Amino acid sequence: MGKMRAARLHEPGKPFQIDEIDIPEPRPQDVLVKVKMCGIIPNMNAIVSGKYWHHLPPMPAVIGLDAAGVVARAPKARLDVREGDRVYVNPFLNCGQCYYCRSHTPMLCSDAALRGYFGFTPRGAKLLEDYPIGGLSEYLTASPQHLVKLPPEVSFEQGARFGYLGTSFAALRRASAGAGSWIAIHGITGTLGVGAVLLAMAMGVTRILGWGRNRNVLTQLRTMAPNRIDTLALGDGGLKEWVRERTDGVGVDVLLDCTGRGGPAAPVAEAVDCLRRGGVMINIGALAEPLALNPTQFMTGALQYRGSNWFTNAEAALMADMVRVGALDLSPLKPRAYPLEQVNQALSDIKERSGGFQNFVVTPE
C-alpha cells in the first residue's frame, strides 16, 4: 500500500502534526474508507489537551472522531458493503466480549472507546489499537458493523456531524420525546442543543423551549418555527416561571442538559424546577462539577435523572433515512471546511465560533 497524510497528536496539549504514514491495511473482514470529511467540535480541544479523564490513544495518534467518506476497498465476500458506498463511520468501539456485550447491550460495553478520540476506561486501549486511525486522515479502516450508509440526500458535511446529532437523537428517544411532548434544552445554542432542536422538530415534538447565552443563535432558533420554538437568554429571567408560562403552568416532559464544557452547575440545578411531575432530565452535556439535586423533589415529583452516551448504528441509520425522506432538515447547519493542513487553525477558530449552526469540518483530500 502507498502513503497518506494524517493529522497526528504527538503529545497531549501540543498542535497536531501533518505526517505521512502508511495507508492502513484492513483486517480480513474490514473495509478501507477514503475520508471525505471529518467533523470537529469545540470539546476536541479539551480532549486532546489530556487534562481530563479521557484515556487517549497511544501517541502519536491519528485523531478524528466523526468521519464520512466512501468505501475504497471491501472484501469480495461482502454483499452488504460495496466499494463506492457513501458511509458515516461510527467511531464507537465495543469489545464484543464483556458482560454487557454478551448481554446484547453493546452501548454499555465496559471497555468501550471512541476511535480517534479516547477510551472510556483504560481497557479501551485494546480497541484503539485495533482501529488506530481517526478521521483526520486520508484513509481509515473499519469493521462493516461500524458503517452507516448515507443516501445522496445526506452530504458528507452533514455525515461528519452525525456523532453529535446522534447523541441528541438517542437522548430524545430515551426520553420518549415525540408528538405531544414539551421539551426544554439547557444549552440550546451549542452543537448538541441546535442538533436537538432540528431532531425534535423532525420527531414531531410539539413545544421546544430552551435557553443559552448567544442571543443571535437564540433568535435564529426561534425564527425556524416561531410557534413551536421559544428561547430565553440566560439571566433574563427565572427559568421556572418562564417555562410554566409556556406549558399551561405544568412544566416540560423532558429536560435535556447540553451544558458545554466549563459550564456552571447552578443553572442546571435551577432547570430541574422546569420539569413537570413525572418528567425526565437527561444529561448529554459536559457538566464537570457536582450537581445539587433535591431527593425529596425527585421522590414526590416522581422525577428521573439519567445519562445518555452516544447512540447505536441503528439510530444513525434512522437519522440518515429521516434526511432522505425530508423529515429531518439539516440545511440550517452551515459548513465551514478546512483542508487537513489547517486543522490546528480550525481547532483554534472553533473556540470563537458563533454557536451550533456552524458545522466545522476538515477535508483530508
85, 151 contact by CB (below 8 A) = no
209, 237 contact by CB (below 8 A) = no
Q: Does 114 bind Zn ion (CB under 5 A)?
A: no
Residue 302, judged by CB atoms within 10 A of its CB (0-12, 13-18, 19+), counts as: exposed
Q: How far is the CB of 208 from Zn ion (least distance, A)?
A: 35
- Using CB under 5 A, pick the residue from 94, 214, 220, 283 that binds Zn ion: 94
Q: Does 109 bind Zn ion (CB under 5 A)?
A: yes
- Between 112 and 194, name the residue whose CB sits nearer to Zn ion: 112
Number of residues that bind Zn ion (CB under 5 A): 5
- Using CB under 5 A, pick the residue from 6, 33, 101, 142 that binds Zn ion: 101
From 211, 246, 245, select the one nearest 231 (Cα to Cα). 211
- Part of the chain binding Zn ion (CB under 5 A), chosen from 59-67, 79-87, 89-97, 202-210: 89-97
- Between 94 and 167, name the residue whose CB sits nearer to Zn ion: 94
Q: How far is the CB of 324 from Zn ion (least distance, A)?
A: 31
Q: How far is the CB of 57 from Zn ion (least distance, A)?
A: 18
203-221: burial string, b at 16+ Cβ within 10 Å, e else: bebebbbbbbebeebbebb
Q: How far is the CB of 246 from Zn ion (least distance, A)?
A: 43
- Between 98 and 293, name the residue whose CB sits nearer to Zn ion: 98
From 67, 48, 189, select the one nearest 131 (Cα to Cα). 67
What CA–CA distance (Å, rounded) separates 147 from 313? 8
Q: Give the three cell numbers for residue 344.
A: 490546528
Q: Which long-range contacts (CB under 8 A, 24 or more apart) does 236-239 make?
A: 238/270, 239/211, 239/267, 239/270, 239/271, 239/273, 239/274
140, 65 contact by CB (below 8 A) = no
Q: How far is the CB of 90 from Zn ion (least distance, A)?
A: 15
Q: Does 322 bind Zn ion (CB under 5 A)?
A: no
- Using CB under 5 A, pick the residue from 56, 95, 172, 318 that binds Zn ion: 95
- Between 95 and 319, name the residue whose CB sits nearer to Zn ion: 95
259, 289 contact by CB (below 8 A) = no
- Part of the chain binding Zn ion (CB under 5 A), chosen from 31-39, 103-111, 238-246, 256-264: 103-111
71, 51 contact by CB (below 8 A) = no
The interface mask with Zn ion, positions 37-76, x = CB under 5 A, is ----------------------------------------
Q: How far is the CB of 103 from Zn ion (least distance, A)?
A: 9
- Part of the chain binding Zn ion (CB under 5 A), chosen from 97-105, 157-165, 180-188, 340-348: 97-105
58, 86 contact by CB (below 8 A) = no
Q: How far is the CB of 140 from Zn ion (least distance, A)?
A: 21
Q: How far is the CB of 117 from Zn ion (least distance, A)?
A: 17
- Using CB under 5 A, pick the residue from 46, 70, 98, 288 that binds Zn ion: 98
Provide the β-strand partners of residue 184.
209, 255
Residues that bind Zn ion (CB under 5 A): 94-95, 98, 101, 109
